[in-house]
Homo-oligomer: A and B are copies of this chain.
Amino acid sequence: MSDSAYRRDSAAFFEPTDRTRLQRYPGRARYERDAIYDVLDEALVCHMGFSVRSQPYVIPTLCARVDDQLYLHGSAASRALTAMTSLPRVCVTATILDGLVLSRSAFNHSVNYRSVVVIGSATLIADIGEKRRALEQFTNAIVVGRWDDVRPPTRQELKGTTILRIPLVEASLKSRSGGPTDPDEERELDAWAGVIPLSVRASEPIPDPTLREGIAVPRYVAAYVRNRS
């Protein structure tokens, strides 16, 4: 953790609540703001949960963080927006898969992951300036540096963009890392055991067929792909 730009006056730890305290595997829970923001910043896509007449729904959407606010891109579904903003508290979860954990027994197989659960009240942003800042963050969450290279949004586009804001006041991180945890007496079994690390791979950028001649792949796109190939 180095360049997270959260406000330095916010507490370094989230206070666990009945909603964010883990019931199983409490040893896998963490509440450090730094670690939680790292996951939110890396995730790009999160899943938001809401209910309509007691029916739960889980919908994926883009997420981006600015300081202690989490922004969700609201193009998912209009019923999601209505439901998300009418509940006192919603739940948003971002999960990153880090590896496959192969134990010597079927029962002990697992995965390495980091998953952040955010509980909070969702508000539809009305202010055009805040919408612009959030859209800048979404664009740079896709590829860092992208915002400065593209046509900025018009006032009309910003009006037509629906963005939800959730203040980051209640959150937890659940994670697993490391190798298999076979009991000592199983180490003599005749099965390979270990971890297969997983990450996101980026492939060669595919230029738009209508791209004007002479426009090269930008440096920040090439760097993004190089770092993930």
User: With the chains together, A228 CA to B192 CA distance in Å?
Assistant: 20
A153 an interface residue at 8 Å Cβ cutoff? yes
Q: B79–A23 contact, CB under 8 A?
A: yes
Give the residues from 164 to 216 in chain A that come closer than 8 angstroms, CB to CB, to chain B: 179-180, 182, 186-212, 215-216
Q: What 1/0 mask marks residues of chain A from 24 to 64 whose CB sits below 8 Å from any chain B CB?
A: 11000000000000000000110111110011111110100
A residues sitting closer than 8 Å to B (CB atoms) are: 19, 22-25, 44-45, 47-51, 54-60, 62, 75-79, 87, 89-93, 95, 97, 100, 102-107, 109, 111, 113, 115, 117, 119, 135-136, 138-139, 142-143, 146-147, 149-154, 157, 161, 179-180, 182, 186-212, 215-218, 221, 224-225, 228
Q: A139–B77 contact, CB under 8 A?
A: no
Q: B135–A107 contact, CB under 8 A?
A: yes
Which residue in B22, B47, B105, B199 is a CB contact (below 8 Å) of A58?
Answer: B47
User: Smallest CB–CB gap between A53 and chain B, Å?
Assistant: 10
- Which residues of chain B are within 8 angstroms of A191 by Cβ–Cβ distance? 149-151, 215
Q: A79-B23, A147-B106, A195-B206 are in contact. Are A111 and B56 (CB under 8 A)?
A: no
User: With the chains together, A225 CA to B195 CA distance in Å?
Assistant: 11
- Which residues of chain B are within 8 angstroms of A119 by Cβ–Cβ distance? 55
User: With the chains together, A124 CA to B68 CA distance in Å?
Assistant: 39
